Amino acid sequence: MLLHDALYAPGVRCSLVSYVSLMKLGFQFVSRADGLDILYGGNLFGHASLLDDFLVLDLDEHSYCNNTSSIFISSIDSNSDSVVWHARLGHIGQDRMARLAKEGLLGQLTKVRLPRCEPCLADKATKKPFGKASRALGSLELIHSNICEPMNVKACTGAIYFLTLIHDFL
C-alpha cells in the first residue's frame, strides 16, 4: 500500500495509519463485529482486525482476491524511495545518497534521483542585505536597540533580560 504524505517517526515501533487519510484517498470502510473491511473501488482491499482497542491492518494479498494492491505498487514513483530516504537522513545531498545506495545501505534503492526539495531550498536561502543605511546627523537621532533573551543566571536584582541601546552618532 502506498501512503502519501507519510511521516517517519523512528521512536514509534509500529506503523500508524490515519482513517481520515485513507478516506481522502478514496478508501471505503465497512464495520464488522471483528473489525473493519477496507474497500477501494468497490473491491476488498484488506481487513483491520480489532486487537486491544486498536485496528490492526491485514493486507496479506493471499487472503484477499483483489487487484487493487497491484495498482498501488505500479503507481509508486521511482523517486519516492529517494525522497523518503532523503528526509530520513536529514536532507543529505544526492551525491552522498548515491554513495550509500551503491554500498547497499538504503535497502532496495539503487538509483538516486531527487526532485526539488522545498525544505532544502529554504535552508540554503540567505537573507537579502539591508539597504544602505544613513548615519545620524544629530545626537540621539538614530538609536539601535536589542533585548536579550532570558538569561540562565539572574542578575543580582533578579532580572533575567537586559536591553542594549546604542545611539548612532559620530
What is the tens place of the pLDDT at every residue in 102-156?
888 888 888 888 888 888 888 877 777 777 777 788 888 888 899 988 888 888 8
Query: What pLDDT score was predicted for residue 150?
Result: 86
* Secondary structure of 9-49 as H, E, C letters: CCCCCCCCCCHHHHHHCCEEEEEECCEEEEEECCEEEEEEE
Q: Which residue has the higher pLDDT, 69 or 16?
A: 16
Tell me: pLDDT of 32 over 50. Answer: yes
Instruction: Write the CA distances from 115 to 34, 91, 121, integer angstroms.
Output: 43, 12, 11
Distance CA 36, CA 48 (A): 5
| Confidence band of 18 (pLDDT split at 50, 70, 90) | confident
Distance CA 81, CA 85 (A): 6
